[in-house]
Amino acid sequence: MQTAAAARATVPPCISLRGVSVAFEARGRRVQALSDATLDITEGEFVALLGPTGCGKSTLLRVISDLLRPTDGVLLVRGQPAADARRRNDFGFVFQEAALLPWRTALANIRLPLEVVGYDDAKRNDRCGELLASMGLANFGNSFPSELSGGMKQRVAIARALSWNPSILLMDEPFSALDEITKNQLQDELLRIWEREQKTIVFVTHNISEAVYLADRVVVMSAHPGRIHQVIDVALPRRRGPEIRDTIEFIEQVRLVRAALLQS
């Protein structure tokens, strides 16, 4: 039986990093935010970047998205510079804060990126309405952010990121500020989206259980300087649901990832 690693080796990567480093000047000294990161992510893969604050997770995500240029190394998206992917609108972003425009309704917030990229005007509302319904917010399209709970705001933010149907979804600790019940609900919703649409997802988190529950692979990072310490295949079946959290297999995977994090 072919292993996941062997299967990945047979296809060109969606995202490829080779020796990527990022350094910057702060208060007269050079700070190495990311050092010698090498990683391949395949099409349709769900990869979690896990590590403590300051280990370079968000820096790596910004490099992938072409929001930050590496000091050294090479980053390619489907064999081309990341800037090409950005210009094609291949990336969708979800951040820790929903960052919704307070003067726009939920529907209008989702519609905003479509206005920017010139999406067919006649199809905008239909597309946004479909996304709202898929997030369980069909009755909240005319609500303003101040009228929505934290979890509902993040649902709108995810729908906004999906509005122009990007093939790569980049998520920077999107559920960290939410309560446990809401967080678990949104994790399951995200998995349903990923299983349905098979987007490539790079997900930043500092929560071990979240990384194991969601990802195909967990990239364990260490700080000072930020670097990739270990990449762990998550040996859990797809599809995953809440019941898997109570299994011995899940607990063992969490222990394995925790051990790698402690060694980093």
Give per-residue pLDDT as tens, 137-182: 889 999 999 999 988 999 999 999 998 889 999 999 999 888 899 8
Write down the pLDDT at residue 8.
Answer: 65
Q: What is the mean pLDDT of residues 30-53?
A: 92
Same domain (yes/no): 123, 197: no
Same domain (yes/no): 214, 131: no
C-alpha 176/C-alpha 187 separation (Å) is: 11
Structural domain including 141 reads: 104-165
Write down the pLDDT at residue 176.
Answer: 86
Residue 120 scores a pLDDT above 50: yes
Q: Do the domain assignments include residue 187?
A: yes
pLDDT confidence band for 113 (50 / 70 / 90): confident
Residue 49 scores a pLDDT above 50: yes
Domain boundary, last residue among 146, 165, 184:
165
Q: What is the mean pLDDT of the chain?
A: 90
Write down the pLDDT at residue 4.
Answer: 58
Domain boundary, last residue among 117, 137, 165:
165
Length of the chain: 264
pLDDT confidence band for 115 (50 / 70 / 90): confident
3-state helix, strand, coil in the chain (%, to 5): 40, 25, 35
Overall pTM surpassing 0.75 (yes/no): yes
Residues of the chain above pLDDT 70, percent:
97
Same domain (yes/no): 146, 217: no
Q: Which residues contact 136 (CB under 8 A, 6 or more apart)?
A: 155, 189
How many domains is the chain partitioned into structurally? 2
